[in-house]
Chain A
Amino acid sequence: MADERQKPGNAAAAAKAKTGAFTPAGVSPSRRSRHKYTVRLWAVRHSRFLEWFYARFADMFLMLHPVWKLFGYDRVERPVTFVERHVKGFPFDCRMCGQCALSSTGMSCPMNCPKQLRNGPCGGVRANGNCEVEPDMPCVWVQAWKGSRNMVKGDAIMAVQKPVNQSLRETSSWLRVTAEAAAARDAATGKDA
Chain B
Amino acid sequence: MAHFDENPLGAHLPLDPLPGHSSLGRLERVLRRGEFAVTAELNPPDSANPEDVYERAAIFDGWVDGINAVDASGANCHMSSVGICALLTRMGYAPIMQIACRDKNRIAIQGDVLGAAAMGVANIMCLTGDGVQAGDQPGAKPVFDLDCMSLLETVRIMRDNSKFLSGRKLTTPPKVFLGAAINPFAPPYDFRPYRLAKKIEAGAQFVQSQYCFDVPMFREYMKKVRDLGLHEKCFILVGVGPMASAKTARWIRSNVPGIHIPDSVIARLEGAQDQKKEGKQLCIDIINEVKEIEGVSGIHVMAYRQEEYVAEIVHESGVLKGRKPWRREPNPVDQLVAERIERTREGVEQNQQQMAEIAAQTPPLIRAGAPAGMSLPTLKIER
Contacts and interface: CB of A to CB of B under 8 A. Distances in A.
A29 B133 contact: yes
Contacts of A29: 131-133, 138-139, 142
Contacts of A30: 131, 142
B131 A120 contact: no
Contacts of A117: 128, 144, 147
A160 B198 contact: yes
Contacts of B147: 115-119, 163
Contacts of B128: 115, 117, 122-123
B144 A123 contact: no
Contacts, number: 125
Contacts of A188: none
A163 to B, nearest CB: 4
Interface residues of B, number: 47
Contact of A160 (B131, B149, B188, B210): B149
B244 to A, nearest CB: 20
B299 interface: no
Contacts of A58: none
Given A160-B202, A162-B150, A123 B138 contact: no
B258 A123 contact: yes
Interface string B161-188: 0000100000000000000011100111
A3 B146 CA distance: 30
A95 interface: no
Interface in A115-154: 115-127, 129, 132-133, 139, 141-142, 145-146
B258 A146 contact: no
Interface in A1-59: 1-5, 10-12, 16, 21, 28-30
A121 B249 CA distance: 24
B45 to A, nearest CB: 23
A133 B128 CA distance: 13
Contacts of A139: 187
A127 B187 contact: yes
Contacts of A121: 186-188, 191, 195
Contacts of B142: 29-30, 114-115
Interface of B: 101-102, 106, 128-134, 138-139, 142, 144-150, 153-154, 165, 181-183, 186-188, 190-191, 194-195, 197-198, 201-202, 210, 253-255, 257-258, 260-263
Given A115-B102, A117-B128, A118-B149, 12 more contacts: A2-B263, A29-B131, A29-B133, A115-B128, A119-B147, A119-B202, A123-B258, A124-B257, A141-B188, A158-B198, A163-B150, A163-B154
Interface of A: 1-5, 10-12, 16, 21, 28-30, 114-127, 129, 132-133, 139, 141-142, 145-146, 158, 160-164, 166
